[in-house]
């Protein structure tokens, strides 16, 4: 943001010429903040958190308080670009008109679709979480075309499937009541970095005497602020949960009435499989300690604290489910409050996601119009195996080779696992790739066409959340910059260029916004306030009433699943690659977004890997040396930081740098793999063995 622009404090009355617009943070984060956007003479001069929105409380994170810097960034894409270099050459593009780009893209897609529309693949995720700029007009377009469907698994599918199997939906505790908890277990979550507005409630509880325990292989900034940190090995959370169950049984700390009335699969064997109680009895603290790389006393004490404190709450986050057994681990942890009856209190229970609470109010079918599909149900392509799938030839099992990919709201070349394969796939000379973007990302570099998209300040949208239960509106604050167009408009234009005359392609963004929710969400009231809270039951499972078909929580089938890659499960691999690597988010980036915002990149510094002093000494590495992090899949160059944040045997490769802004054009996904989780077919980013060596100077 240019220095000459004055920054008013929006809590003081703005100047008469300042307009304040209701916005919503579009990013993939549980907080979904309400923003207040100050506009003067058609230019955004400041973005702030809405003071009246309960969870935002007037505060935005460092990243999003600089949202205007992103919008007015000197490298914003402001006109359509067409590739003029070969895919394996350094990228060169030239500007083209929208008319030319749309006609050419439509011609290519139509020709491919005439052979088999499933050869066209949409690829998108949560670059914006908005319901309109996400899967609304885009879904209509791809439904009408008959394109392959994308399984959107890259983030939360293991935990989502686990919650659905256990509670019936992606639902949990309500955010504000964490302030009343007496014990909060922050499990696989670096809340200060990735869920800041939850942290505010946890701090309130702490001030009132609550105990905070962090369970995370990395000693995060959140762990620093908790009373206790349990640094288990990655992918061993399910074993820890079983050990806690063992202790709850041994100490007679079960809420037998709750179990009897509201839980299936605890005592009862089914189809020859023992109930969960019997499985838990096989996990005494000593066994748990060995598998998890912690002490038996830590297991015993945690069980005593959990059973002995009421109300006890668990803030689980998606970090712990990015391993082979991530789904089962979430199931086991989600059953803990069913065993102790913690759900009886509104400040007890567990929160991983609140998104299921919106389901009755969302009108997804109206936005996406599945009825536009004329032919048979298209095949599913899993976004987490995009590397392999782009390289797969046609076959009876797979179907046609992928001939065209339309990417929006995602940067797969940086974020998808095993990037050497992903790059090879996108480099295919015969692949036609269109990328809708704000910036020239690693993925845009491999496109045939790059289409400039609007940012959140330049378009209308509506939002739900996965951390709270409020619906938000994001009004358009300013006109689109340059020739940028909203995703909705780009898909409208593509539909027209493809000759799709269905009236739904004429719906405006405001019409879409009015279709997005059922009548309970009054659009004009939402507009007036900027947000609207869903009616919620404070202690949703106090009387059972889970969202499963029979209203009972389901414990059947849950068990510990070991990693694909670990010293115990793959000793031969571990002999060559002895270090477990996790790659959690960096505080000042949002996945790969904001890596190109210089002020934020400067705070993060350089791509780095944290490692324990013992592991460094064993390899003769000194702090600050450049290293190669490698395995059979690839090699990632970064700087070694010897740090108390890393436990022995585990290295932390903070994510997710743009490859081209890192060293040697690599990032941490160079070494991750495409094997999927036990539930939900999600990636196992944090289930990854590597070795480190110093790079020659």
Ligand X SMILES: Nc1nc2c(c(=O)[nH]1)N[C@H]1C(S)=C(S)[C@@H](COP(=O)(O)OP(=O)(O)OC[C@H]3O[C@@H](n4cnc5c(=O)[nH]c(N)nc54)[C@H](O)[C@@H]3O)O[C@H]1N2
Pairing of strands 608-611, 650-653: antiparallel
Smallest distance from ligand X to CB 344, Å = 26
Q: Which residues bind ligand X (CB under 6 A)?
A: 26, 28-29, 125-128, 133, 154-155, 187-190, 193-195, 215-218, 220, 234-235, 237, 317-320, 323, 408-411, 415, 436-439, 441, 453, 487, 582-585, 587, 589-593, 655-656, 668-669, 672, 685-686
Q: Residue 303 binds what, of ligand X, Mo ion, none (CB under 5 to 8 Å, by partner type)?
A: none
Smallest distance from ligand X to CB 106, Å = 18
Please report, in angstroms and rounded to a whole number, the separation of the first and last CA atoms in the chain: 37
Residue 487 vs 666, nearer CB to ligand X? 487
Q: For residue 59, how many other CB atoms are within 10 A of its CB?
A: 16
**Which residues face 316 on adjacent strands?**
187
- Evaluate whether 589 touches 604 at the Cβ level (below 8 Å): yes
Q: Measure the CA–CA gap between 230 and 536, rounded to whole angstroms.
A: 33
CA 647 to chain centre: 25
Q: Which residue has the tokens 């179990």?
A: 259
Q: Residue 317 binds what, of Mo ion, ligand X, none (CB under 5 to 8 Å, by partner type)?
A: ligand X
Residue 431 vs 668, nearer CB to ligand X? 668
Residue 415 vs 625, nearer CB to Mo ion? 415
Smallest distance from ligand X to CB 443, Å = 7
Q: Residue 411 binds what, of Mo ion, ligand X, none (CB under 5 to 8 Å, by partner type)?
A: ligand X
Q: Residue 234 binds what, of ligand X, Mo ion, none (CB under 5 to 8 Å, by partner type)?
A: ligand X
State which H helix or E strand residue 78 sits in.
none
Residue 49 vs 556, nearer CB to ligand X? 49
Smallest distance from Mo ion to CB 264, Å = 31
State which H helix or E strand residue 160 sits in.
helix 157-167
Residue 218 vs 492, nearer CB to Mo ion? 218
Stretch that binds Mo ion, among 78-86, 147-155, 544-552, 610-618 (CB under 5 A): 147-155
Residue 401 vs 409, nearer CB to ligand X? 409
Q: Nearest to residue 136, comparing CAs of 456, 488, 386?
A: 488
Q: Residue 534 binds what, of Mo ion, ligand X, none (CB under 5 to 8 Å, by partner type)?
A: none
Smallest distance from Mo ion to CB 410, Å = 11
Smallest distance from Mo ion to CB 155, Å = 3
DSSP string, 593-642: BTTT-HHHHHHH-S-EEEE-HHHHHHTT--TT-EEEEE-SS-EEEEEEEE
Smallest distance from Mo ion to CB 293, Å = 26
Q: Residue 71 binds what, of ligand X, Mo ion, none (CB under 5 to 8 Å, by partner type)?
A: none
Q: How many CA atoms lie within 13 A of 326 on its CB side?
A: 33
**Which residues face 25 on adjacent strands?**
none
Residue 155 vs 263, nearer CB to ligand X? 155
Stretch that binds Mo ion, among 132-140, 150-158, 393-401, 567-575 (CB under 5 A): 150-158
Residue 63 vs 262, nearer CB to ligand X? 63
Smallest distance from ligand X to CB 13, Å = 32
Q: Residue 212 binds what, of Mo ion, ligand X, none (CB under 5 to 8 Å, by partner type)?
A: none
With H, G, I as helix, E, B as strand and everything else as coil, classify residue 124. strand
Residue 340 vs 410, nearer CB to ligand X? 410
Q: For residue 376, how many other CB atoms are within 10 A of its CB?
A: 8
With H, G, I as helix, E, B as strand and everything else as coil, classify residue 556. coil
Q: Of 120, 132, 136, 155, which lies in the binding site for Mo ion, with binding defined by CB under 5 A?
A: 155
Smallest distance from Mo ion to CB 629, Å = 22
Rg (CA), the chain: 25
By rule CB under 5 A, what count of residues binds Mo ion?
A: 1
Helix axes 98-115, 487-497, angle to 10 degrees: 60
Q: Does 196 bind Mo ion (CB under 5 A)?
A: no
Stretch that binds Mo ion, among 39-47, 153-161, 236-244, 372-380 (CB under 5 A): 153-161
Which pairs with CB-CB distance under 8 Å and at least 24 residues apart come from 567-571? Answer: 567/649, 568/291, 570/689
Smallest distance from ligand X to CB 402, Å = 18
Smallest distance from ligand X to CB 667, Å = 8
With H, G, I as helix, E, B as strand and everything else as coil, classify residue 36. strand
Residue 593 vs 666, nearer CB to ligand X? 593
Q: Measure the CA–CA gap between 144 and 371, rounded to whole angstroms.
A: 8
Smallest distance from ligand X to CB 394, Å = 27
Q: Residue 165 binds what, of Mo ion, ligand X, none (CB under 5 to 8 Å, by partner type)?
A: none
Smallest distance from ligand X to CB 384, Å = 9
8 cis-preceded (ω within 30 degrees of 0): no
Q: Residue 285 binds what, of ligand X, Mo ion, none (CB under 5 to 8 Å, by partner type)?
A: none
State which H helix or E strand residue 30 sits in.
none
Residue 279 vs 438, nearer CB to ligand X? 438
Pairing of strands 432-437, 449-452: parallel
Alpha-carbon distance values, 154 to 8, 151, 158, 384, 425 (Å): 39, 9, 9, 5, 18
Pairing of strands 650-653, 626-630: unpaired
Q: Residue 309 binds what, of Mo ion, ligand X, none (CB under 5 to 8 Å, by partner type)?
A: none
- Evaluate whether 120 touches 113 at the Cβ level (below 8 Å): yes
- Evaluate whether 325 touches 235 at the Cβ level (below 8 Å): yes
Stretch that binds Mo ion, among 108-116, 152-160, 170-178, 652-660 (CB under 5 A): 152-160
With H, G, I as helix, E, B as strand and everything else as coil, classify residue 401. coil
Alpha-carbon distance values, 301 to 129, 213, 453 (Å): 40, 11, 52
Q: Residue 590 binds what, of ligand X, Mo ion, none (CB under 5 to 8 Å, by partner type)?
A: ligand X
Q: Residue 382 binds what, of ligand X, Mo ion, none (CB under 5 to 8 Å, by partner type)?
A: none
Smallest distance from Mo ion to CB 193, Å = 13
Q: Measure the CA–CA gap between 541 and 547, rounded to whole angstroms.
A: 9
**Which residues face 467 on adjacent strands?**
none
Q: Measure the CA–CA gap between 2 and 650, rounded to whole angstroms.
A: 42
CA dihedral sign, ordered 278, 279, 280, 286: positive
Smallest distance from ligand X to CB 30, Å = 6
Q: Measure the CA–CA gap between 27 and 47, rounded to whole angstroms.
A: 14
With H, G, I as helix, E, B as strand and everything else as coil, classify residue 53. coil
Q: Residue 679 binds what, of ligand X, Mo ion, none (CB under 5 to 8 Å, by partner type)?
A: none
Buried-exposed string 464-503: b where 16+ CB fall within 10 A, e elsewhere: bbbbbbbbbbbbbbbebbeebbbbbbbbbbbbebbebeee
Smallest distance from Mo ion to CB 318, Å = 6
Residue 155 vs 406, nearer CB to Mo ion? 155
Q: Residue 532 binds what, of Mo ion, ligand X, none (CB under 5 to 8 Å, by partner type)?
A: none
Q: Which residue has the tokens 């996406």?
A: 368
Residue 26 vs 387, nearer CB to ligand X? 26
Residue 401 vs 566, nearer CB to ligand X? 566
Q: Residue 215 binds what, of ligand X, Mo ion, none (CB under 5 to 8 Å, by partner type)?
A: ligand X
Q: Residue 484 binds what, of Mo ion, ligand X, none (CB under 5 to 8 Å, by partner type)?
A: none
Q: Which tokens in the block code for residue 161?
A: 């499937």
Binding site for Mo ion (CB under 5 A): 155
């Amino acid at each position: 943001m240019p220095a000459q622009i004055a920054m008013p404090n929006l809590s003081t009355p703005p100047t008469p010429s300042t307009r304040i617009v209701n916005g919503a943070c579009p990013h993939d984060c549980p907080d979904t903040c309400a923003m207040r956007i100050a506009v003067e003479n058609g230019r955004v001069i400041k973005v702030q958190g809405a003071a009246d929105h309960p969870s935002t409380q007037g505060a935005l994170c460092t990243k999003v308080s600089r949202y205007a810097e992103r919008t007015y960034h000197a490298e914003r894409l402001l006109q359509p670009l067409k590739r003029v270099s070969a895919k394996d050459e350094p990228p060169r593009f030239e500007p083209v008109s929208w008319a030319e780009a749309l006609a050419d893209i439509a011609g290519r897609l139509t020709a491919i679709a005439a052979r088999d529309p499933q050869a066209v693949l949409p690829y998108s995720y949560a670059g914006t979480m908005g319901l309109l700029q996400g899967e609304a007009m885009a879904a209509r377009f791809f439904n009408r075309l008959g394109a392959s469907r994308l399984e959107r698994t890259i983030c939360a599918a293991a935990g989502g499937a686990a919650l659905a199997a256990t509670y019936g939906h992606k639902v949990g505790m309500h955010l504000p009541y964490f302030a009343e908890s007496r014990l909060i277990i922050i499990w696989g979550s670096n809340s200060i970095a990735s869920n800041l507005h939850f942290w505010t409630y946890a701090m309130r509880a702490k001030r009132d005497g609550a105990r905070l325990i962090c369970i995370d292989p990395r000693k995060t900034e959140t762990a620093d602020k908790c009373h206790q940190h349990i640094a288990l090995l990655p992918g061993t959370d399910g074993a820890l949960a079983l050990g806690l169950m063992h202790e709850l049984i041994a100490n007679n700390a079960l809420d037998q009435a709750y179990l009897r009335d509201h839980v299936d699969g605890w005592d009862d064997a089914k189809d020859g499989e023992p109930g969960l109680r019997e499985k838990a009895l096989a996990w005494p603290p000593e066994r748990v300690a060995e598998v998890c790389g912690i002490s038996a006393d830590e297991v015993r004490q945690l069980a005593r604290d959990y059973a002995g404190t009421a109300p006890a709450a668990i803030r689980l986050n998606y970090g712990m489910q990015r391993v082979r057994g991530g789904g089962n681990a979430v199931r086991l942890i989600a059953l803990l409050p069913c065993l102790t009856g913690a759900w009886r209190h509104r400040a007890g229970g567990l929160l991983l996601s609140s998104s299921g609470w919106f389901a009755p109010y969302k009108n997804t079918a109206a936005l996406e119009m599945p009825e536009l599909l004329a032919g048979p149900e298209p095949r599913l392509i899993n976004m987490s195996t995009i590397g392999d799938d782009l390289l797969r030839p046609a076959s009876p099992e797979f179907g046609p080779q992928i001939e065209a990919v339309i990417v929006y709201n995602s940067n797969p070349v940086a974020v998808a696992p095993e990037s050497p394969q992903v790059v090879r796939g996108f480099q295919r000379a015969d692949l036609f790739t269109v990328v809708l973007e704000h910036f020239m990302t690693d993925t845009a570099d491999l496109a045939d066409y790059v289409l400039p998209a609007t940012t959140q300040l330049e378009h209308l949208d509506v939002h739900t959340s996965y951390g709270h239960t409020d619906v938000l509106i994001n009004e358009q604050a300013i006109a689109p910059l340059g020739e940028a167009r909203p995703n909705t408009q780009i898909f409208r234009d593509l539909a027209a260029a493809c000759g799709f005359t269905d009236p739904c392609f004429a719906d405006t963004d405001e019409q879409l916004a009015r279709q997005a929710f059922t009548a309970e969400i009054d659009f004009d009231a939402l507009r007036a306030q900027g947000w609207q809270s869903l009616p919620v039951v404070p202690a949703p499972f106090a009387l059972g009433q889970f969202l499963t078909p029979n209203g009972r929580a389901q414990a059947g089938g849950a068990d510990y699943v070991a990693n694909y890659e670990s010293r115990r499960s793959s000793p031969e691999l571990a002999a060559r690659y002895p270090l477990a690597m996790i790659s959690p988010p960096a505080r000042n980036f949002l996945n790969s977004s904001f890596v190109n915002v210089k002020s934020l990149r400067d705070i993060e510094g350089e791509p780095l890997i944290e490692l324990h002093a013992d592991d460094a000494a064993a390899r003769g590495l000194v702090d600050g040396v450049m290293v190669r992090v490698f395995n059979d899949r690839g090699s990632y160059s970064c700087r070694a930081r010897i740090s108390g944040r890393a436990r022995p045997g585990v290295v932390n490769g903070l994510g997710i740098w743009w490859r081209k802004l890192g060293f040697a054009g690599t990032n941490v996904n160079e070494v991750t793999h495409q094997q999927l989780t036990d539930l939900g077919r999600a990636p196992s980013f944090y289930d990854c063995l590597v070795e480190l060596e110093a790079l020659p100077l």
